[in-house]
Amino acid sequence: MDSQYGKLRQLFEYNFLEYTSYVIKERAIPDINDGLKPVQRRILQTLFNMDDGRFHKVANVVGATMKLHPHGDQSIFAALVNLANKGFLIDRQGNYGNIFTGDQASAPRYIECRLSPLAREVMFNKDLTDFIDSYDGRMQEPVTLPCKIPLLLLQGADGIAVGMATKVMPHNFCELLKAQKQMLKGEEVTLYPDFVQGGMVDVSLYDHGNGKIRCRAKMEESNEKTILIKEIPYTTTTQSLIDSVEKAAKAGKIKIISINDYTAEEVEIEIKLARGVYAKDTIKALYAFTDCEVPISPNLTLVQDGVPRTSTVEEVLRHNTEKLLGDLTRELNIDLNRLQDRLHARLLEQIFIEERLYKSIEEKTSFEAVIKGVDEALLPFIQELKRPVVTEDIERLLEIKIKRISRYDINKQQKEIQSIHHDIKVIKKNLMDMVGYTTSYIDSLLKKYGGDYPRRTEIKEFTEVSVRKVALSNLSVWYNREEGFLGHQIKVNDSETDFCIACSEYDRLLLLYATGMYKVIQVPDKLFVGHNILWIGKVEEGVIFNMVYREGRENLCYVKRFAMPKFILDKEYRLFDEHKRSAILLLLFGQEKSARASLMPSARAKSNVVEICFDEYLVKGPAAKGKRVSSRTVRRVIDTTGKMQKAKKVNLTLPGLEDIAVDPPTGKKGEGTEKED
């Protein structure tokens, strides 16, 4: 039983590994050499086989590709449309959909395609291509195409395989080729993505093809009540972006009247804003709550030497540059060998005709004798030839027609030989300086095609949009002291509530109790918080608390100043030690605050009053004890700031406490920031 289980397990493991390897290498992950997945490579090879300069019905191309691709026509058609819409290798004719709106392409019988001039120039060379049998053995297909540009980085790639995925960002054509020139000189390069949708990209967290990027739409203020979206982020369409805006508006995160899509050849989405809402503020909210800003996590996974691996942009570009150098060297050597063979044939022909060597075979009676006779006749001229004479050379001489011999033009033949000598000399010179030759080749591509591919995406560092800052304060949070409940779903009349604050769902609320205890909570629907809350406010940067409190054990009063404290949500903290007589006597916010403390009368004292100027005290942590007001007992503390800010009196029915003055903070509205979550 165990042996049968072991065999079954081995069978499953073997089949799973075979399937995994097939999906990774033959379907989802592109090859580093030509940047193509197998289906894309087969489409291009089919177009090359069919190429006659004219357009072909896509249905015909798909059908022909099925001779090489062992899957259905729909997968081939989808891959062809995707490849054509990238705009580099395939010329289109007809409706191929719209990458901006997400509209689908027409049926394959209605649209046409052919190889682009760029593809014809850089993608194919039979002398450099290794071919293997197709899946059914009836045809030959390339292992990889001899691509002379860094196509993987140029058009990017997306794919999901078994246990891995790839997401390669597209880059700019001119920047890639210029970077190759820099690499040939030994210089370091840095490249960033470029998207056909345009928009803006923040690459501060981009890690050489991996890491993270943030893409934003480009928006304009047509007027203070109208926003125009002119370019959209990568991975989005106008429809998906509009859906996200409508969803945010429905959730109350932004307020709009209407949104209209006028996109044709250029993106144009118009957003009309509601009354009391202005474009300047809404643009930030659009980045925070909609697909006007999207995060993307690139993952540069590829197949190299038959093995999947994660690489970097610079490694891929260096590999492609070295491959370009090697391919151009091989091409020159192949051309050199062909020229040398051609020169050898022309010299043999010249000697054979001008020296009338054909007369030496007039008396020969057999083919072997003829071959031997020509071979012997050529012996005196061996030094003039570039290599030894073989039988194939003699057979080629014997195939020359009498008509051609009689019309032989010595001057024309000499010019052709000189031209071949010149071409050989040029190739040998180029082979001596392959870096210079490769640079010249790249320059020729830039000159011919560079103008067609300007950078579309603006590289820009974005300032972080705080969701709490841009969120609408669309919730009214109520506090009913009598019942002890706090929340935005409390139904009370104005006469029944002790407190109300407008905030958003992203705000954090600081609850400060008269006993010196405080905690920070999220905006609740309805929450029991107790009856003795002294102050409730949004967590905001820069708020300064000015406090006078009684320390119960000593029965003395202290002054302390502190900034908005750090916190963990729902955790209770204390501003001073807990005691039944400890309590906050005065709470003010901000700068230039003052107070007066009335002391217990004493016959020896010159004055029974202490003036307190809070700005004279240092801002310390919320747990600091503070500075003692007086060694005598304090009877009462009142705010003397004057008309600058009136204190709000709150009567608490707590034993041993006098009236406590509470002054609302003056921090900027809506700038709450969570310190610690």
* Catalytic residue numbers, as ranges: 110
Collapse the DSSP code of 320 into the 3-class scheme (helix H, G, I; strand E, B; otherwise coil) and give the result. helix
Collapse the DSSP code of 236 into the 3-class scheme (helix H, G, I; strand E, B; otherwise coil) and give the result. coil
Can you name the residues that pair with 159 across neighbouring β-strands?
166
For the record, the structure tokens of 668 come out as 């900027």
CA distance 561 to 563: 7
Phi, psi for 296 (deg, rounded to 5): -130, 135
CA distance 41 to 69: 10
Who contacts 449 (Cβ-Cβ below 8 Å, separation ≥6)? 117, 118, 173
Phi, psi for 377 (deg, rounded to 5): -65, -25
Which residue matches tokens 């190759």? Answer: 180
570 conformational bin, left if phi > 0, alpha if psi -120 to 50, beta if neither: left
For residues 180-205, b (16+ Cβ closer than 10 Å) or e, as one string?
bbebbeeeebebbbbbbbbbbbbbee
The answer to whether 317 touches 442, Cβ cutoff 8 Å, is no
The answer to whether 453 touches 116, Cβ cutoff 8 Å, is no
CA distance 677 to 102: 39
Residues 278, 282, 283, CA angle at the centre, nearest 5°? 120
Which residue matches tokens 């809404």? Answer: 282
CA distance 4 to 99: 54
The answer to whether 478 touches 488, Cβ cutoff 8 Å, is yes
Collapse the DSSP code of 337 into the 3-class scheme (helix H, G, I; strand E, B; otherwise coil) and give the result. helix
The DSSP string of 591-653 is SS-EEEEEEPP-SS-S-SEEEEEGGGSPEE-TT---EES-SSPEEEEEE--GGGSPPEEE---
The answer to whether 83 touches 89, Cβ cutoff 8 Å, is yes
The DSSP string of 531-590 is S-EEEEEE--TT-EEEEEEEETTTTEEEEEEEESPP--TT--EESS---TT-EEEEEEES
> How many CB atoms neighbour CB 644 within 10 A?
10
Can you name the residues that pair with 258 across neighbouring β-strands?
272
C-alpha count within 13 angstroms, C-beta hemisphere, residue 282: 28
Residue type, 368: E
CA distance 578 to 88: 73
